[in-house]
C-alpha cells in the first residue's frame, strides 16, 4: 500500500513548529509495510487543502491519503470541509469509529469533526494534529483499511470472508 501524508499547520508551514505527526504516521505505517510516497506541510487554508488532496487523488499518487490537523472546532480548522469538497463518496463509519475509540481516552474526542471518503481510487482520512491522537485514530481504523483499499481499487473479495467470527 502507498500512503501520502498532508499535515495542516499554520506554524508548521512557516517553520515555527516542527511537524511530529507526519513523521510519526510515516514510521507507524512503515512498520506495517506501507510506503509513504508523498508528505507535505501546508497552512490551514481551505483552498490549499482542496488543491493538494485533489492533486494527489487525481494523480493516483497514493492508495491512502492521510491528513493530520485541522479537525477541531477552531475557526482555522477547515480540513473536514475541504475533504468533503474533494471526496466523491463519504465513509461515515471511519470517522465514527475514530471518535468512538478516542472517547475511551478523552472526552475531547467528541469535538473531532474528522471525516473519511473516496476520490477516484484513493481513500482519504482526516486525523487529529497531535502525534498521539493521529496514531490512536489511525490504529482504531487500521483493521479495515487494507480491505477498504482493495475494494476501492476494484477487488472482488467479500467483506465477510475477511473477518469471520
pLDDT at 165: 47
| Domains (range + CATH), the chain | 2-154 (3.40.980.10)
pLDDT in tens, the chain (165 residues): 999 999 999 988 898 989 999 999 999 999 999 999 999 999 999 999 999 999 999 999 999 999 999 999 999 999 999 999 999 999 999 999 999 999 999 999 999 999 999 999 999 999 999 999 999 999 999 999 999 999 999 987 766 655 554
Neighbours of 48 (CB within 10 A): 17
Three-state SS sequence of the chain:
CEEEEEEECHHHHCCCCCCCHHHHHHHHHHCCCCEEEEEEEECCCHHHHHHHHHHHHHCCCCCEEEEECCCCCCCCCCHHHHHHHHCCEECHHHHHHHHHHHHCCCHHHHHCCCCEEEECCEEEEEECCCHHHHHHHHHHHHHHHHHHHHHHCCCCCCHHHHCCC
Is residue 41 within 8 A of residue 102, CB to CB? The reply is: no
Can you tell me which residue has the cell 478516542? 102
Radius of gyration (Cα) for the chain, nearest Å? 15
pLDDT at 127: 98
Is residue 8 within 8 A of residue 129, CB to CB? The reply is: yes
pLDDT at 71: 95
How far apart are the two ends of the chain, measured CA to CA in Å?
Answer: 26
Amino acid at each position: 500500500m502507498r500512503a501520502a501524508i498532508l499535515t495542516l499547520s499554520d506554524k508548521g508551514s512557516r517553520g515555527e513548529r516542527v511537524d511530529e505527526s507526519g513523521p510519526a504516521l510515516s514510521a507507524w505505517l512503515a512498520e506495517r509495510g506501507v510506503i509513504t510516497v508523498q508528505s507535505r506541510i501546508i497552512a490551514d487554508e481551505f483552498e490549499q487543502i482542496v488543491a493538494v488532496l485533489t492533486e494527489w487523488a487525481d494523480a493516483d499518487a497514493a492508495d491512502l491519503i492521510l491528513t493530520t490537523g485541522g479537525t477541531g472546532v477552531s475557526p482555522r480548522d477547515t480540513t473536514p470541509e475541504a475533504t468533503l469538497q474533494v471526496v466523491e463518496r463519504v465513509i461515515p463509519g471511519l470517522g465514527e469509529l475514530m471518535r468512538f475509540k478516542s472517547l475511551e481516552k478523552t472526552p475531547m474526542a467528541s469535538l473531532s469533526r474528522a471525516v473519511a471518503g473516496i476520490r477516484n481510487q484513493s481513500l482519504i482520512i482526516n486525523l487529529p494534529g497531535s502525534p498521539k491522537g493521529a496514531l490512536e485514530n489511525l490504529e482504531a481504523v487500521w483493521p479495515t483499511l487494507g480491505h477498504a483499499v482493495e475494494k476501492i481499487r476494484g477487488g472482488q473479495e467479500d467483506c465477510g470472508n475477511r473477518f469471520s467470527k
